[in-house]
Structure 1
Amino acid sequence: MAKDAPGMRGIRSRNEDEQLRQKRGDTHVGTIEKMYGLDFDARSDMHLHTLLQREGVQSLHELIESGSDRN
Structure 2
Amino acid sequence: MIAGTVTGRSDARQITLFDSVGFAIEDFSALRYVHSRLRGTGLFQNLDMIADPDDPRDLFGMILRAQAEMAA
Larger Rg: 1 or 2?
2
TM-score (ref. length: structure 2): 0.31
TM-score (ref. length: structure 1): 0.31
